[in-house]
Structure 1
Amino acid sequence: MTETNRSWVLDSYPDGMPEAGNWRLEEAPRPTPGAGQVLARAIYLSVDPYMRGRISKAANYAAGVQLGEVMHGGAVAEIVESDHPDWKPGDLIETMGFGWREWAVLDPETTGPNGLRRVDPSLGPIHAYLSYLGMPGVTAWLAMQDIGRAKPGETVLVSAASGAVGQVVGQIAKDAGARAVAVASSADKLAWCEEIGFDAGVNYRERADDLADAVKEACPDGIDVFFDNTAGPIHDAAMKNLALGARIVICGMVSNAGTFDQPDMGERHLRRILVARARMEGFLIFDHMARWDEARRALAAMAADGRLKFKTDRLDGIKHMPQAFVNLLTSRNFGKQLVQAGPDPTA
C-alpha cells in the first residue's frame, strides 16, 4: 500500500475554457482515518460537466472549489481501513465527495450526494456506478420520468447524445416507444447512437450554418421532448422546432464552458414557448437523492435485459485528470469520461 497521496488542487480560476494548467498535482502522506471514519483508495475517478461551475468565481447551486483546494469529484473506491461499524475493508463504494485524489478519508455519516453508497458488482461493472448506474444514468432516468414523460410515437431530441447522460436518455425514450433523435459532434458518435437505437441524428458541426433546418429534417413532426445537455446553438435550433405541448429538460450547458462567467446570450424563445404551450424545467440530481436507488434498480434491469448499452472513455492514471476534464468540455471524449486511478479488484 503506497504511503503517499497524489491530489489535484485548483491552482487558478480559468479565464474562458479551462486548461490543464489550472490545476497542480500535489503529493502528501497517505491520510489516516479518525474515529468513525474510513480510508478509501480510488479505483475510478469521474469528470462531469457540472464541475465547470465548481471552478468559477461566480455563484452556483453548490459551493465552488477554492484555490489550493482539492478538486471536487466522484469516485468508485475501495475501503482499506475502517473505524465505522457498518463499513469494513474491502467494501466497494461510490460517492460524489471523493475528489481528484488517490486516497480519501470519508465520513460514512455524511448524507446527500457526498455520502457513501454501496457498489454491487452483480449489477454491472463497478465503473458503471459513475455512468449508467450512477449520477448520469440516474439523472437521465428521473428527468425523463418526471419532466420528459415520453409517450409512444413522440419525438425525443437529445443533445450530447453520445455522452454519459444523453446515451441513456435516448434508450429510455426508445424503451417508452418514442422516436429518439441524436445531436452529436461527429459521424462516429452518431454511428454509436444509431447502434444503441436512435432513429436519426444531426451532426451539429457539419450543419452549424443551418442547424435549425437540420433539426427540422430529423424531426419533421416537431420535437415533443427536448433533453438539453448543451445549451447554445443546439438549444436555439431545437426551440424553433417545438411540437405542441413540448417538454424541455434543461440538464446541462456544456457548450458554454468557454464563456461560463459571461452572460448566456442567444435568441429569446418566449413566443415559441407560448405558441407551443411548452414546459421548460431545469433538473439537478441533488434534489432527488431519495429516489437514487429506485432509478438504479430500473437502469440495472434495462441493462440486464439488453435494453441499455453504454460506451465509456477511460484514461489510465491520475496524472490524466485535468486533461480528461478538458476532453469532456471540448467533445474530445467518446462516452462517459473516466480515469482509472488504481487497480480494479473485480476485473
Structure 2
Amino acid sequence: MTLSTRVITLKCRPEGVVDVNNFEIKEIDLVELQCGEILLRTVYLSLDPYMRGRMSAAKSYAGNFEVGEPLIARGVGEVILSESKAFTAGDLVVGMMKWADYSVIKHPETLRVIDVNKTPLPNYLGPLGMPGLTAWVGMKNIGKPKVGETLFVSAASGAVGQIASQMGKISGCRVVGCAGTDKKVSYLINQMGLDAAFNHNVEGDYLAALRRCCPEGIDINFENVGGKLLEAVLEQANDNARFVQCGVISQYNLPHDKRFGIRNIEHIHRKRIRMEGFIVGDHWDRLDEFISEMMVWLNSGAITYKLDITSGLERAPVAFIAMMGGGNFGKTLVQVDDEP
C-alpha cells in the first residue's frame, strides 16, 4: 500500500518580507522503507528565525533551502514503521524533519529518542531544544553573568530571550528586557520576574528607555533584535560589557541596502566591549550537560516558558510569517498531528 503525505515546499525565494506566495503545499507519495530507514509521523514542528536566511540564495551557515524542495525544521515525531535496529514503532524522537505529515528518514541516527513522562513534548523544541541551548551557550560562554550586574535582553519574550532572561535572574543579575507589545512587557515583569521592561514598538527614543530602565548602565547585552536598538545599547553599555550576538531579527527581512548600519561602533574599542557571535550548532556536544541543568530549572519552577502553538501543517507558513513580524507570543510551534 502506498502512503501519501502533505509536504510544504519553498515555491520561490522571498525578496524582502516573506509572504504566503513563497510556500507551496503538495501531496506526494512516500517511497518504501529501505534497510536502516524509518517512517516518521510529525507531531510538532519548530519555526525559528534562522530559517529566513536559509530561504535566500545567499550563503548561510545552515545551508540554503532549495526551491521546489521540502522545508526542514526541528521537530518531534513518532516512529510508525522501522527498518532500523535503533528504533521501534512507537518511539518518540526529536530532530530535523520535513514540513510534512509523514517523512521517510534515511539517516535516523540523527534523531534522539525522548521521554514524554519527563516533560511535555513541546518542551523538547523550546527550553530543552535549540532555543534553550542557544540561550544557555550564549550566557555560559559569552555573557558570564555575575551577581549585581545588569543584563539587557532584546526580544525577551521570544524563544531564546525567555531563557536568557531567566538565566540572568538565576545568576543574581538585574534583568531588563524589551518586547513588541504591552502584553508581552507585562508578561516579562509579572510572570518572568524581570526588573524592568519596555515596548520597543512604542518607545520613540531607545536610548532614553535604556537610561530609564538601566540607570547603572548595561554589563551584558543578549542581542536578538539589532538595528537602532543595538546602537542604543552600545551607547548605554558599561566599560568591559559583554555582548552576546545571537541574532538581529529586525534586519532579516530587509534587503542589504535597506539594513541599518551601526553608527557608534567605536564604543566597542573605547569601552573595551567584548562582542561575540556564535552558532548553536557548534555546541551540540554539550547537549547532555545542558539538558541536565535545564531540567532541574524547569522542574523547580526557576524557569517558566511560554509557547505559541498553531494547529495544522497548512498553517505553518502563516505562523512563520507572523513570527518574523513579531506576531507570536512565546516560542513558535506548529502542532501537525495529535500527540500519541
- The TM-score bracket by the shorter chain reads over 0.9
Separation in 2 of the partners of 1:32 and 1:252? 40
Give the structure 2 partner of residue 239 of structure 1: 234
Answer yes or no: is 1:201 the counterpart of 2:200: no
Question: What are the residue-to-residue correspondences of 1:114-125 with 2, within 5 Å?
Answer: 115-125=110-120
| TM-score scaled by length of structure 1 | 0.94
The amino acid across from 2:101 in the alignment is E
Answer yes or no: is 1:103 the counterpart of 2:102: yes
Separation in 2 of the partners of 1:287 and 1:107? 23
Give the structure 1 partner of residue 71 of structure 2: 71
SS at match of 2:286: helix
Counterpart contact for 1:32–1:39, Cα < 8 Å: no
Separation in 2 of the partners of 1:31 and 1:192? 47
The amino acid across from 1:193 in the alignment is L
Give the structure 2 partner of residue 288 of structure 1: 283
The amino acid across from 2:331 in the alignment is K
- Name the CA shift for 1:31/1:308 in 2 (closer, same or farther; >3 Å): farther
Aligned residues: 339
Per-residue CA deviations over 1:282-305 (Å, capped at 9, x if unaligned) read 121111010012111111110001
Q: Give the C-alpha shift of residue 224 in structure 1.
A: 0.7
Indicate which of 272, 296, 299 corresponds to 1:301: 296
* Gaps in structure 1 of 5+ consecutive residues: none
| TM-score scaled by length of structure 2 | 0.96
Counterpart contact for 1:182–1:193, Cα < 8 Å: yes
Question: What are the residue-to-residue correspondences of 1:231-270 with 2, within 5 Å?
Answer: 231-262=226-257, 264-270=259-265
* Gaps in structure 2 of 5+ consecutive residues: none
Separation in 2 of the partners of 1:285 and 1:10? 24
Counterpart contact for 2:38–2:108, Cα < 8 Å: no
SS at match of 2:100: coil
Counterpart contact for 2:2–2:29, Cα < 8 Å: no
Moved over 6 A (4+): none
Give the structure 2 partner of residue 326 of structure 1: 321
Taking only the aligned residue pairs, the percentage that are identical comes to 36
Give the structure 2 partner of residue 316 of structure 1: 311
Counterpart contact for 1:317–1:342, Cα < 8 Å: yes
Per-residue CA deviations over 1:36-55 (Å, capped at 9, x if unaligned) read 11111100011100000000
- Name the CA shift for 1:144/1:28 in 2 (closer, same or farther; >3 Å): same
Separation in 2 of the partners of 1:105 and 1:253? 34
Per-residue CA deviations over 1:69-97 (Å, capped at 9, x if unaligned) read 101211100111111111111111110x2
Q: Give the C-alpha shift of residue 261 in structure 1.
A: 4.5
Separation in 2 of the partners of 1:183 and 1:246? 19
RMSD: 1.5
Separation in 1 of the partners of 2:245 and 2:259? 14
Separation in 1 of the partners of 2:276 and 2:47? 24
Q: Give the C-alpha shift of residue 340 in structure 1.
A: 0.4
